[in-house]
Structure 1
Amino acid sequence: MEHSQLTVAVTGASGTQGGATARALLADGHRVRAVNRRPIELPGAEAVRADFDDPGSLDRAFAGADAVFLVTTPFGTDLDTEIRHGVDAIDAAVRADVRHIVFTSATNADRGTGIPHFDSKWVIERHLAQATDNWTVIAPSAFMDNVAGGWASRSLRQGKYSLPLSPGTPLKLIAAADIGAFAALAIGRRKEFLGRRVDIASDERTGKEMASTLGTVLDRDVEFDAASVEDVARYSADLAAMFAYFERVGMDVDITRLRTDYPEIGWHTFADWAGKALS
């Protein structure tokens, strides 16, 4: 580690990725500013109020920080707002002379996927690379943690695991804890990761395999339900485009190399994650 202790401003600290990153940084002995619109209680972290719609609050939140972990989302707002938030946060970090900005994007977002919330992150990635040399992009695959919420959770209560994918289509997966651990690793080893974009995943499973694993963990029968993309489109055209891309193209991540190069992450298999999260 290049510094025994760094001060890191973590945006979205109440969310899945920000929370996991804050906890991983604290475990590594860093000082964490848990940056959120509504200050949160995170043991060991300094709660800092900042709003992406108020660039001045970002200036204050980032002042004196060694690194910033940046996460953005269009869900709850829209794509243009996500891009504006990302650009404004990057510019605030540059004004604050932050030595390292780690942005979390999405696997394959740099490949013209046509998935709206992937393409918006690619716009932010390009701005980041133009604004500073002090950047790293980590690009997670599909979240294992989504199984514990939303339509997946509802279908489990009915003895089914539902995904809008064919039963045999493999899906690259990652646990939020691994995203946080990898972000903390990149921040702690700044020189090694500067100027790099890394797609990350920790396992690959078909929907049918995931249903079988869930059945084992929950100790009851769980059948795989191949939902239609058209049904998803009625809820979100963006998510429908994502699953259509996963079916047609898939995500390109070298999981074996990640596990070999960074064993300290403790990469979760889907079975590992499910056993901890759902049992």
Structure 2
Amino acid sequence: MSTQSPGTIAVFGGTGQQGGSVIDALLTRGAHVRALVRDPESDRTQALADRGVELARIRIGDATSLSTALKGADAFFFMTTPAGHSLADIEGETQLGTVLVDAAVTAAVPHVVFSSVGGAERDSGIPHFESKRRVEEYLQQSGLRTTTVRPVAFMENFSFLAPSVEQGQIVLRIPLPDDIPLQLVAVHDIGRIGAALLLGTAEAPGGTIEIAGDELTGSQIAAAFGEHAGLPARYEALPLHVLDDNPDTRAMFRWFAETPAYQADIDAVKAIEPSAWDLPTWLRSTGWTLPGW
């Protein structure tokens, strides 16, 4: 394990949650960051430039622009996400991942860190997990030195799975049986762990690590929100049919409920990031408040 910081770290998705968190952590450590961006004039991109981030304009359909943007980079972080929930969107995610891998090969990037998803290697059958698995496999066959991080469910998902307040009580409803714990991770920690791997101050055993900072049942999640808000709390498990006709989301929540789903070793995660956030820490650190309050 090297303690010498690489010269330039390239990041794809720097205006999004994960890539932005990686950039935050890299800048905190004094690294030189190059963000691969499609629109260098956007407000979010300019905000990166104002913080000293080098901007490299790319066009996803132009292999030359991608490899040129990665030329001379000492490490590269990327993640993929579907543009929507259709099977075509999910297939597009795999295509995006493969073109980024090809560009890294052409540019001979010494180390690539890919953010996938917890359980990608376990035949989940979830379309947007399987698409990431295909990117993982393509990356493993590339000949590059690679590290894969597999985040579990984001704590940030509670921005749209937020509890409500009913008659002075916090009420959390999710389509998950209450006796099934769910592993959670803060995007903040994806950034810090990704930065440590990119900078060579940490290594993932075997080149992969599933990452989580907490593991809670529905009632325990509700209780954390209640304690944070200073209100009593309860949890109500919802049936899967509330997810309408979205096959991807239904498959994921069925996987949560019916299989040993996320399997992060939180002690191994804390060996890399000792201050990894649990849910109460995330609530405090982000200043979470109830919607409308």
CA displacement at 1:108 relative to structure 2: 1.2
Give ranges in structure 2 of 5+ residues lacking alignment: none
Whole-angstrom distance in 2 between the partners of 1:237 and 1:265:
37
Whole-angstrom distance in 1 between the partners of 2:267 and 2:206:
22
Whole-angstrom distance in 1 between the partners of 2:280 and 2:229:
11
Between the aligned residues of both structures, percent identity stands at: 35
1:269 aligned to which of 267, 278, 285 = 278
- Structure showing greater radius of gyration is 2
* Aligned length in residues: 273
1:135 aligns with 2:143: no
1:91 aligns with 2:102: yes
2:60 aligned to which of 52, 61, 74 = 52
Whole-angstrom distance in 2 between the partners of 1:272 and 1:20:
17
Whole-angstrom distance in 2 between the partners of 1:195 and 1:169:
29
Give ranges in structure 1 of 5+ residues lacking alignment: none
CA displacement at 1:9 relative to structure 2: 1.1
Compare the two structures and name the one with the higher helix fraction: 1
1:112 aligned to which of 104, 123, 126 = 123
SS at match of 1:133: coil
In the alignment, is the contact (CA less than 8 A) between 1:9 and 1:68 conserved in 2? yes
TM-score by length of 1: 0.91
Whole-angstrom distance in 1 between the partners of 2:58 and 2:155:
29
The aligned runs of 1:195-214 (5 Å cut-off) are: 196-214=207-225
CA displacement at 1:89 relative to structure 2: 0.3
The aligned runs of 1:209-248 (5 Å cut-off) are: 209-234=220-245, 236-248=246-258
Whole-angstrom distance in 1 between the partners of 2:278 and 2:229:
17
CA displacement at 1:14 relative to structure 2: 1.1
Whole-angstrom distance in 2 between the partners of 1:215 and 1:53:
47
1:23 aligns with 2:20: no
CA displacement at 1:190 relative to structure 2: 7.4
CA displacement at 1:60 relative to structure 2: 2.4
In the alignment, is the contact (CA less than 8 A) between 1:105 and 1:139 conserved in 2? yes
TM-score by length of 2: 0.87
* Paired AA for residue 187 in structure 2: A
* Paired AA for residue 32 in structure 1: V
* Paired AA for residue 51 in structure 1: R
CA displacement at 1:84 relative to structure 2: 0.7
CA displacement at 1:75 relative to structure 2: 3.4
Which deviates further from its counterpart, 32-41 or 83-92? Answer: 32-41
1:174 aligns with 2:175: no
In the alignment, is the contact (CA less than 8 A) between 1:134 and 1:194 conserved in 2? no
CA displacement at 1:195 relative to structure 2: 5.8
CA displacement at 1:193 relative to structure 2: 4.4
* Paired AA for residue 214 in structure 1: F
CA displacement at 1:141 relative to structure 2: 0.6
Cα gap change, 1:192/1:268 in structure 2, threshold over 3 Å: closer, same or farther?
Answer: closer
* Paired AA for residue 78 in structure 2: L
